[in-house]
Amino acid sequence: MSAKISYDEVEVGTELPAQSFPVTRATLVQYAGASGDFNPIHWNEKFAIEVGLPDVIAHGMFTMAEAIRVVTDWTGDPGAVAEYGVRFTKPVIVPNDDNGALIEVSGKVAAKLDDDARTVRVDLTATSAGQKVLGMSRAVVRLA
Among 37, 129, 48, CA closest to 92? 129
Give me the pLDDT at residue 3, please: 74
Domain 7-23+58-142, classified CATH 3.40.50.880, yes or no: no
3-state secondary structure of 93: strand
CA–CA dist 80, 144 (Å, integer): 9
For the chain, the structural domain boundaries read 7-23+58-142
Q: What is the pLDDT of residue 2?
A: 62
Q: pLDDT under 70 in the chain at which residues?
A: 1-2
Identity (one letter) of the amino acid at 143?
Answer: L
Q: In what order do the strands lie in the sheet with 81-88?
A: 15-23, 101-114, 119-128, 131-142, 81-88
Q: Return d(Cα 133, Cα 94) in angstroms, integer.
A: 13
Tell me, what's the pLDDT at 1?
55
